[in-house]
Amino acid sequence: MADQRAQDEAVRLAAELIRIDTTNRGSGDCRERPAAEYVAAALAEAGLDPVLLERTAGRSNVVARIDGADPARPALLLHGHLDVVPAEPADWAVHPFSGEVRDGVLWGRGAVDMKNAVAVLVAVARDLARTGRRPARDVVLAFTADEEDSAADGAAWLAEKHADLFEGCTEGIGESGAFTFHAAPGLRLYPVGSAERGTAWLKLTARGTAGHGSRPNSRNAVTSLARAVTRIGEHKWPTRLIPTVRAALLAISSALEIDAPDPDLDADALLARLGPASVLVAPVLRNSANPTMLAAGYKVNVIPGQAVAYVDGRVLPGCDAEFCATMDELTGPDVAWEYAHSEIPSESPIDAPLMAAMTDALLAEDPGAHIVPYCMAGGTDAKYFSPLGIAGYGFTPLALPPGYDYHAMFHGVDERVPVSALHFGVRVMDRLLANAS
């Protein structure tokens, strides 16, 4: 079992990673290399042989392999990203790149998403090397660039151009999941991710007839676009219960001692009975499409010939065709749509031995808790490794106190995590690697 040294080391590593500004502003405006070099040095110091790989100068990824006790077993991928979203220091109570520990809490951009998890994995890897222990199976560590944008310089490129580094991996563990969710007084849930919605970022283009703003115009591109955007924003998507979400509803209902819902029960009606735990499933009962950006015109008295909008769409596994058909209907004949960026949805087996091992590792540290399946509303790097035959799971264990809003920390102001939560993560991940079959 990882000792106190490893637990404290995770905190130090996380703080130092936070101090390395790897802000990803999109469109290639990011430089992860300093963080990648820091991680690689920490792994090399422990006797591992990490490699740094770049598609674009400065956009570094780190990959290393740890030999397991039984090389006949399939390998396990553990991955996390090195980039973070922007943070405005003036908005924060503590500087977002200070990595300050205050009153037992680590502050900074990346404290939850997800330099904390990277630090936990590095600390566990270093402790294994220091103590001469081996994980139950081969482990591949991958710390990636560009997850907060398109992954074109990160996981997507690694999976396409360096698939050999992941040889033998059949399952992968990445971000989001295994955090404490306080569903009721004394009732703790740990959602473990086994599915995630796909990303469908759309560009809508309306074309019309340009003209003077004082004249009637039946082919006004702005008007056509506004109608389509309104239809999309007001559309009520139908419920689509994928296996992970159905299992989550059953497990949460059982934990709350609510009568097990009928398979055909109205999921929305059930949400009202789940109390705070409804937030774990409400965003993933259906596809979604939210208009987010508009652009048209250059002068108030000129009707433009073109107007453009962007929509953040998210698609459940198995619902791609329905999403496309719905967008065709909602945009109508006067507005064209295309993908600005897309990522596939994914879903992995919830009855896999790895799920059982993750459950056991969590319950060993928190015996009174309930482990439930979880579908992530957004996406992670896991979907890029899926075409390599790697089933993806969200498992970054954190023991969190009541009142701590985990989801608000993602991309939020004053992102922070209790030091004790990182200690918990080290103990759980160490136990998992020792026993995962």
Distances (CA, A) of 322 to 10, 240, 274, 283: 44, 11, 28, 18
Active-site residue among 32, 138, 146, 147? 147
Contact 230, 306 (CB under 8 A): no
Residue 390 CA to residue 384 CA, distance in Å, equals 9
Which DSSP state fits 221? H
CA 299 to chain centre: 41
Tokens 């991940």: give the residue: 429
* Structural contact between residues 166 and 78, judged by C-beta atoms closer than 8 angstroms: no
Closest CA to 320 of 229, 202, 147, 199: 199
Question: Residue 83 catalytic?
Answer: yes
Task: Determine contact, residues 77/172, Cβ cutoff 8 Å.
Answer: yes
Which residues, at least 6 apart from 218, have a Cβ–Cβ distance to it below 8 Å? none
Nearest to 209 by CA among 195, 193, 223: 223
Bridge-based pairing state of the strands 139-144 and 169-174: unpaired
Catalytic residue among 9, 83, 343, 381: 83
Just list the catalytic residues.
83, 147
